[in-house]
Chains A and B, each alone.
Chain A
């Protein structure tokens, strides 16, 4: 990254003038904290004591045998407190908020995972917390909303636009333009104006650092390939950046292929995955929105498009400038997995390994499964399980079509309406 927060031609800072002082303050405090060993120590301790790090690297012997190709290992970010990698970022930013002396955090959330993580850290650090969430996502992920409220956060439904993550992000930025002297915008992924992409990627890079060490312990080598799902790009940046200069390690990002290639049916910004999307070129194009330059899904007039994914956390119109740059430089290969393949991969992991991944993470599994049979048995492949799937119970139940679950819900509703 250069001084202005650019990664190649992506990144930068394109924000309303009113945010300038807070953006500069954040930049300064972040740089100082990076160089401050007591901050780094506190960060490490908090990740250990509050989130349960390090998370394990789990060998998948059954699935490896079944697919008959490379050996599969899972990086278990699902075992973080809150059930997702989002915790790593909120711990880091939360400690920064304390340093800056601000009293309130603003967060956007898609799946609700970042909303929960923000609400948790706010409760722990004694901060006020407002979470913006698309009204459509609230419908898809109500259990997470319930917990955010129980934790004391204010959850604001966003009813403009497509009512998903991107609209929530816009609304969080609007709040920040009003409240910036006392509030910190705690973005949940490695997007936004500088220094957010760098900072979030840095706090997440504990994933990759641990993976590197654990790979040595488990199979005495670096992995041959690393797979991660890419929504905004934070779990991918986290596991991949520590391997960036290990050029023998192949890095593969998996986007949401959704239902197909029509606008509004997917969140495929970068990949040119002919087998899955039969599109001649990547579907996104360069743009500048939400504070940064990157690849966005947009029409020919530069209006951002609607997106779809079975996983609310991957349903995002842009992508981290770090990911866009790595993909452009061919350091990172991007592929996409469609909703139905994701459900298949999800079920496979449940049945054969006894692990319930988040639907976001199941994209990484689906992407890996599509390639692993072609890889030699001697290879070792790491898949980032960015989160656990408990939150997805409603969506999965409807995707796999379990009639008993629906009957249970209606019985439960009848009961609670009676009392």
Chain B
């Protein structure tokens, strides 16, 4: 790869920018493949795609998800009991891609299951259905080959940045970013355990205010910004309008599903979109 070549705008980025012309903010919903069962998780994904979420993030479960809090951790452990297979997951994603052309699908997992499958092989095979890959325990400096593979396959490696990321490192990530950047809103893991301590009216951030943090990222970055961790309610999403392009909802969705199944999911999506 030569450095002086400006990369074409990725398909994921184009998609987000197109959609954003029509909507103030997009929704990315996070689900765990295999929870509560393989079939039910497929039904859940279909329900979300039918309800028109623009982006669906599918987590392939790992036994030791160190960036995830209780809701997703529990879902991963239950999912693993059903012996989820990565190649089956990829097939399901491929079929979604054909049936729901108005949404894009991202695959998220920890390194080990992907590494076990073969990271290069995965990237190649995922390209038919997956627009972006999220691997929270793969740091930029360990990712040279992965980035080459992704570019070749036309998949975006999605990098995570946090309010604690120093500015020089933020710049590195912004330069590497294609598709979108995943801006973690605060410290800690996914879900509610530690955001409960904080004012639920705000998306909690740590040393800097969310506005300043996202402002800085927007200044350094040319790709769309997605914000996640601790987003549960409509007013949080409203607050993000103008600061970010995508709101990511994970644990809240799982909790809704656990409380009231697919009905509650549809209701939550409607509420989050502010359409009631």
A residues neighboring B (CB under 8 Å): 4, 12-18, 20-21, 160-161, 166, 170, 173-174, 177-181, 287-291, 296, 298, 300-304
Q: Which residues does chain A contribute within 8 Å of B61, judged by CB atoms?
A: 303
Among candidates A12, A17, A170, A180, residue contacting B64 with C-beta atoms closer than 8 Å: A170
Question: From residue A336, how far is it (CB to closest CB) to chain B in Å?
Answer: 23
Closest residue of chain B to A305, judged by CB? B63
Check B114 for interface membership: any CB of A closer than 8 A. Answer: yes
A291 to B137, CA, bound (A): 7
Interfacial chain A residues near B162, Cβ < 8 Å: 17-18
Instruction: Let me know if B216 is at the binding interface, CB within 8 A.
Output: no
Pair B187/A180 contact, Cβ less than 8 Å = yes
Query: Closest CB-CB distance, A119 to chain B, in whole Å?
Result: 23
Min C-beta distance of A80 to chain B, whole Å: 31
Contacts of A180 in B (CB 8 A): 164, 187
Q: Which residues of A contact B116 (CB under 8 A)?
A: 287, 298, 300-302
A288 touches B169 (CB 8 A): no
- Give the A-B pair count, Cβ closer than 8 A: 112
Contacts A178-B189, A287-B112, A289-B64 hold; do A18 and B117 have CB atoms under 8 A apart?
A: no
In the assembled complex, which residues on chain B have CB atoms less than 8 Å from the CB atom of A298?
Answer: 112, 116
Find out whether the CB atom of B112 lies under 8 angstroms from the CB atom of A16: no
Alpha-carbon gap, A263 to B162, bound state (A): 38
> Does A302 lie within 8 Å of B117, measured CB to CB?
yes
In the bound complex, residues from chain B placing their C-beta under 8 Å from that of A287 are: 112, 115-116
Residue of A nearest to B116 (CB): A302
In the complex, are the beta carbons of A12 and B142 less than 8 A apart?
yes
Query: What's the least CB distance linking A318 to chain B, in Å?
Result: 10
**In the assembly, what is the distance between CA of A61 and CA of B84, in Å?**
56
Binds A, one of B39-47, B65-73, B98-106: B65-73
Among B63, B70, B194, find the residue whose CB has the most chain A CB atoms closer than 10 A.
B63
Task: Verify A289–B112 contact, CB threshold 8 A.
Answer: yes
The 5 closest A-B pairs by CB, nearest first: A302-B116, A178-B188, A302-B113, A18-B162, A16-B67
B112 touches A13 (CB 8 A): no
Question: Given that A160-B74, A287-B112, A302-B116 are known contacts, is A16 also in contact with B136, CB under 8 Å in the complex?
Answer: yes
List the B residue with the shortest CB-CB distance to A21.
B164
Residues of B within 8 A of A (CB): 61-67, 69-70, 73-74, 77, 80, 83-86, 110-117, 136-139, 141-142, 159-162, 164-166, 169, 184, 187-189, 194, 206-207
Complex contacts, B77 vs chain A, CB 8 Å: 160-161
Interface centre among B64, B113, B165, by most chain A C-beta atoms within 10 angstroms, is: B64
Assuming A21-B165, A160-B74, A288-B112, what are 19 further A-B pairs, CB within 8 angstroms? A13-B142, A16-B137, A17-B139, A17-B165, A17-B184, A18-B164, A21-B164, A161-B63, A161-B64, A177-B66, A177-B187, A178-B194, A181-B164, A181-B206, A289-B62, A298-B112, A301-B83, A301-B86, A303-B61
Closest CB of chain A to B234's CB: distance in Å? 26
Closest to A296 in B: B112
Most buried by B among A21, A178, A181, A300: A178
**A401 CA to B165 CA, complexed, in Å:** 56
CB of A270, distance to nearest CB on chain B (Å): 18
Question: Are B111 and A304 neighbours in the complex by a CB distance under 8 Å?
Answer: no
Contact between B66 and A18, CB atoms less than 8 A apart? no
> Cβ of A301 and Cβ of B64 under 8 Å apart?
no
Residues from chain B with Cβ under 8 Å of A161 in the complex:
63-64, 77
Query: Nearest-CB distance from B170 to chain A (Å)?
Result: 10
Say which residue of A17, A170, A300, A301 sits within 8 Å of B161 (CB atoms): A17
Pick the residue among A12, A13, A181, A303 that contacts B80 (CB under 8 A).
Answer: A303
Interchain CB contact under 8 A, A20 and B64? no
* B contact patch SS: loop
B174 to chain A, nearest CB (A): 13
Which one of A4, A288, A304 contacts B63 once the chains associate, using CB atoms below 8 Å?
Answer: A304
CB<8 Å pairs between A and B, sample of 23 = A4-B141, A14-B137, A15-B66, A17-B184, A18-B184, A18-B187, A20-B164, A20-B165, A20-B166, A21-B164, A21-B166, A174-B67, A177-B67, A177-B189, A180-B164, A288-B115, A289-B64, A291-B66, A301-B84, A301-B85, A302-B112, A302-B113, A302-B116
Task: Kindly provide the distance from the CB of B215 to the nearest chain A CB, expressed in whole angstroms.
Answer: 19
Q: A174-B69, A304-B112 are in contact. Are A16 and B165 (CB under 8 A)?
A: no
Chain A, residue nearest B169 (CB): A20
Complex interface: chain A residues within 8 A of B166 (CB):
20-21
- Rounded to whole angstroms, the CA-CA distance of A16 and B114 in the bound complex is 16
- A166: chain B residues at CB < 8 Å are 64
Query: Of B62, B66, B69, which contacts A303 at CB under 8 A?
Result: B62
Q: B138 to chain A: which residues have CB within 8 Å? A: 14
Residues on A with beta carbons closer than 8 Å to the beta carbon of B115: 287-288, 302
Which residues of A have CB within 8 Å of B73?
A: 160
> How far does the alpha carbon of A13 sit from the alpha carbon of B84 in the complex, in Å?
27
User: Which residues from A are CB-within-8-Å of B169?
Assistant: 20
B139 engages A20 (CB within 8 Å): yes
> Hey, which chain A residues are within 8 Å of B161, CB to CB?
17
Contacts of B63 in A (CB 8 A): 161, 303-304
Chain A residues lying within 8 Å of B65, measured Cβ to Cβ, are 170
Taking a contact as CB atoms under 8 Å apart, the answer to whether B66 and A170 are in contact is yes
Q: Given contacts A174-B189, A177-B188, are A14 and B111 in contact (CB under 8 A)? A: yes
Minimum CB distance partner of B85 in chain A: A301
**B residues within 8 A CB of A290?**
64, 66
A13 to B83, CA, bound (A): 28
* Minimal beta-carbon separation of B263 from chain A (angstroms): 28
Question: Closest chain A residue to B197 by CB distance?
Answer: A178
Please give the distance in Å from B19's CB to the nearest CB on chain A.
Answer: 26
Closest beta carbon of chain A to B81's beta carbon, Å: 10
Q: Are A301 and B113 in contact (CB under 8 A)?
A: yes
Q: Decide: B111 and A16 in contact? CB cutoff 8 A.
A: no
- Residues of chain A contacted by B117 (CB below 8 angstroms): 302
Distance of B196 from chain A, by nearest CB (Å): 12
Q: Could you say which of A17, A179, A288 has the most chain B C-beta atoms within 10 Å of its C-beta?
A: A17
Q: Let me know if A16 and B62 touch, CB within 8 A.
A: no
Contacts of A303 in B (CB 8 A): 61-63, 80, 113
Q: Name the one of A4, A16, A300, A302 contacting B66, with C-beta atoms under 8 angstroms.
A: A16
